[in-house]
A and B are shown apart, each in its own frame.
Chain A
Amino acid sequence: MDVLLLLGLLGAGILGAAIGKLARFPFWPLSGAILGAAAFHLAAGGAASVPWWWSFGAQVLIGTVVGAKLGPAVLRDFRLVLLPGTVAVLAIVAAGVGLGFALESVSALSRLEAVFGMVPGGVGEMVAAVTTLHGNSALVAGMHLVRLLIVIVSLPWLVRLVRRLT
């Protein structure tokens, strides 16, 4: 792959992320970079692509940050809410998988994209997994961004609701 094309793609991704940050896009490093890279890809006549080590490096960085969080402090805090925390985690994950299968049955989505687009396992992590499996990572990223946007906007109201109900 042409080094100049790769540098151009990286520059467009960084520019997109910077614009995303200024415009307060949800999850701006990912959403902004997707838009920047997509614009560059179209401008380059669809010639841009990334080598294997690009996605590999991205996954190493994202995975390292997640794994590094699993220190003794996190384990100690989770132990405080071990049973309810486990119940919550299992319920949310199971619901995500179930909703993924449901979404597959009512749309033209493939099972891979439907399930990975709905499992709440971290946007970067799920997009990284779909990238490895040669699925439509842009579509999966879009699905997660929609979810995040709705959750972030709704949470203040839901917090008030739960306060009232308890």
Chain B
Amino acid sequence: MSSGAGTSASAGPPAGSRWSWLWLLAGGLLGATLLTLLGVPAGAIVGAVLGSAVVSIRGARLRAVPPSTRIVGLVLLGCAAGVRLEPDSLLMLAKLAVPLVGAVVVLLALNVGLALLLTKRYQVDPITAMFACAPGGLSEIGSLAETYGARVGVVVAVHVVRVILVVVLLLPILLVALGH
């Protein structure tokens, strides 16, 4: 994972040191706290993304956040979701199976269509185009893309931009549209 380059921070862990990624975490914590205190809906996730993105772009040679950070976050989030998992949720998911699978098939058809467009019109190689447009998780698609010889940097860049666009731009719009 890449981090930012630019001006060095004046205090705290020196740039490039083992613990310099803590600046990113501090930026995320500050952003999340600020937007939560301001009462922004979903302020914690939006603020954390914005805060660490600002540090990443402005920070000098910061160490990448350890991969275990996301794993710890997902386990904590999984626990929070698990205590809400009622039999009704499972029943609902079972009832949703057909329309949900149908919706995913539509997304995959769009994936193929976009990959063909990118290949024919923009001269992107087909494997890179396919993985860049795949509606999957960043880590899973990234590792699959590497296996298939796609340009991983481009694939990861498109997926990172997608996730950030959704969290920072689309999420606030959806929250207003959905009445939150």
Contacts and interface: CB of A to CB of B under 8 A. Distances in A.
B75 interface: yes
A41 B130 CA distance: 41
Main secondary structure of the interface of A (DSSP, over half): helix
B71 interface: yes
Interface string A3-34: 00000011011101100000000110111111
Given A37-B82, A62-B73, A77-B154, A129 B42 contact: yes
Contact of A60 (B48, B82, B115, B164): B48
Contacts of A50: 79-80, 83
A88 B118 contact: yes
Contacts of A143: 93, 96, 100
A39 B165 CA distance: 35
A29 B71 contact: yes
Contacts of B21: 68
B166 A93 contact: yes
A84 B36 contact: no
Interface string B31-64: 1100010000111111111111111110000101
B178 A71 contact: no
A67 interface: yes
A119 B170 contact: yes
B120 interface: yes
Contacts of B16: none
B80 A99 contact: no
Contact of A66 (B57, B112, B157, B164): B164
Nearest to A47: B83
A96 B107 contact: yes
Contacts of B78: 13, 16-17, 29-34, 36-37, 141
Given A9-B79, A120-B135, A125-B166, A33 B74 contact: yes
Contacts of B85: 34, 37-38, 41, 138
B170 A84 contact: no
A159 B36 CA distance: 42
Given A84-B124, A122-B163, A146 B76 contact: no
A119 B166 CA distance: 8
A81 B121 CA distance: 12
A70 B92 contact: no
B15 interface: no
14 contacts: A33-B75, A33-B76, A34-B78, A37-B79, A41-B83, A54-B79, A55-B44, A55-B76, A63-B45, A68-B55, A124-B70, A127-B77, A131-B80, A155-B144
Interface of B: 1-5, 21, 24-25, 27-29, 31-32, 36, 41-57, 62, 64-65, 69-86, 89-90, 92-93, 95-97, 99-101, 103-108, 110-112, 114-122, 124, 126-127, 129-138, 140-141, 144, 148, 153-154, 156-158, 160-167, 170-171, 174-175, 178, 180
